[in-house]
Amino acid sequence: MNTRRRIALALTSILGTFALSTSVYAASAPPPTPPSLSAQGAILVDANTGQILYGRHIRQEFYPASITKIMTAYLAITHGWNKTVHVSVEAQNQPGSSCYLRAGQAYPMPRVVTAMMMVSGNDAAYAIAQTVGGSVPHFVQMMNQTAQRWHAPGIHFANPSGLPNPHHVVSALGMAIITEHAMANPIFRQIVATKVASLPPDPTPRIYYNQNRLLYTYPGAIGVKIGYTIEADETIVGAAQRHGVTLIEVLLKDTPAGLWPDAANLLNWGFQHFSLVHPIKAGAILGTVDIGHRPILVKSGASLNYLAYPGESIHPILHFVPNNHLASKPITRNELVGSVQISINGQDVGSLPLISLSTMAPYQKSFVWRWKWIESTLAVMILIKLLSRYRSRYRRRKTLRVNPWHLRGSDSR
């Protein structure tokens, strides 16, 4: 690559970075004042990016009650959707809220999962865990492993239903992350938006109505789950969608009088004060990334979605992650060459694909570089040889000085 091209790429990178650091709005303003909440733990996030709009004690651990069943339903969908649920005596005898399943009955998994999410049936959760996991302990292990894989902090499940247990705790942030993943599944999303469901006659059909009041009272509500125990107090994970924006809220240890006003007010606050912007648009030149000693000009392969409040100053910070498998390979124009991780105002807000803007041949060491390497190697070898000769002569002279009769002795007859 010639010098002019290197300079041009460097200038383009600098200008691109400067452009990204420019505020979307003319001036910075303080964030909007959040509503007063009764919940001790709370969070509001963008369901698509995980951007946190509001948080209160988001990593503190609380008892979750039946919002636990979000994970139970997700694993049933992804690991046992085509199985038949056989109700055991242990499942039938689970305390608390119930779908009134009876031992010996068998139902298709979709019907049982839907009934469980409607009325928080602990009997259904237990039967699902036995069917999907083979045993309840193994299913609980699956729940915790999934939460760890999603990097959901403050999560430790001890049962599939949410019944009180000192070791069964969640955090607002952890449940928000779990719900983001669950809501990305279309089957799960359909179930939690369902208002009425039923199970086959026994001897008459059992009808279940969704206990999530948001589905009936909040415009745009799309799920997901409520819970209550004496230890947990009122809990809810709610979700709503308006104008192409989907928000997820988690409220933990709320009060009976405060739960539903809190749920509506927090969602209203999010939709009223935040709007969708694109600080980085698809095709925007982001700078250069080094792949195999080759500086490659790259652009964004998609637009970045960000929820901003009026007057917010937006400064994207970019961290390039090149695909090192391309280090020794040719690169073509418009090829995916890595990704860029983006943070705004100290918060990770997602990643975008990096697309090359030029064609590059495989990296090869130049002839000049090879000659310099050979030249340096020869110089070192010659130096070592000279030092070796010098040391030999020095030792010989030292021997002669120590024994001056050596030469005389050689001349005697």
Q: For residue 142, what is the enclosing H or E element? A: helix 136-149
Cα 33 versus chain centre, distance: 27
SS3 19: helix
Q: Catalytic pick from 69, 225, 253, 299?
A: 69
CA distance 72 to 141: 11
Residue-wise pLDDT for 32-64, tens only, equals 999 999 999 999 999 999 999 999 999 999 999
Confidence category of residue 133, pLDDT binned at 50, 70, 90: very high
How big, in percent rounded to 5, are the helix, strand and coil portions of the chain? 40, 25, 35
Q: For residue 217, what is the enclosing H or E element? A: helix 214-217
Residue-wise pLDDT for 142-188, tens only, equals 999 999 999 999 999 999 999 999 999 999 999 999 999 999 999 99
As a whole-number percent, the residues of the chain with pLDDT over 90 amount to 68
Cβ neighbours, 10 Å, residue 139: 26
As a whole-number percent, the residues of the chain with pLDDT over 70 amount to 85
**What is the dihedral sign for C-alpha 33, 35, 40, 41?**
negative
Burial 89-103 (b: 16+ CB within 10 A, else e): eebbebebbbbebee
**Of residues 324 and 228, more confidently modeled:** 228
pTM comes to 0.80
Task: Give the C-alpha distances (Å, rounded to integers) separating 15 from 22, 24, 163, 319, 358.
Answer: 11, 16, 57, 16, 18
344, 314 contact by CB (below 8 A): yes
Q: For residue 275, what is the enclosing H or E element? A: strand 275-277
Q: What are phi and psi for residue 22, nearest 5 degrees?
A: -75, 140
Average pLDDT of the segment spanning 300-321: 92
Residue 380: per-residue pLDDT:
76
pLDDT for residue 14 is more than 80: no
Residues 6+ apart with CB under 8 A from 364: none
Asked about 120 being catalytic, the answer comes back as: yes
Which span out of 6-15, 289-298, 357-366, 387-396 was modeled with the highest average pLDDT?
Answer: 289-298
276, 302 contact by CB (below 8 A): no
SS3 174: helix
Residue-wise pLDDT for 65-79, tens only, equals 999 999 999 999 999
Q: Catalytic pick from 13, 97, 120, 300?
A: 120
Q: Catalytic pick from 66, 97, 161, 358?
A: 66
Which span out of 8-17, 101-110, 325-334 was modeled with the highest average pLDDT?
Answer: 101-110
Q: What are phi and psi for residue 34, nearest 5 degrees?
A: -75, 165
Asked about 135 being catalytic, the answer comes back as: no
Tell me the CA end-to-end span of the chain in Å, nearest whole number: 78
Residue type at 365 in one-letter notation:
K
CA distance 335 to 301: 10
Residue 402: per-residue pLDDT:
53
Asked about 66 being catalytic, the answer comes back as: yes
Residue 386, judged by CB atoms within 10 A of its CB (0-12, 13-18, 19+), counts as: exposed
pLDDT for residue 15 is more than 50: no
Residue-wise pLDDT for 209-265, tens only, equals 999 999 999 999 999 999 999 999 999 999 999 999 999 999 999 999 999 999 999
Confidence category of residue 13, pLDDT binned at 50, 70, 90: very low
**What is the dihedral sign for C-alpha 153, 154, 158, 162?**
negative
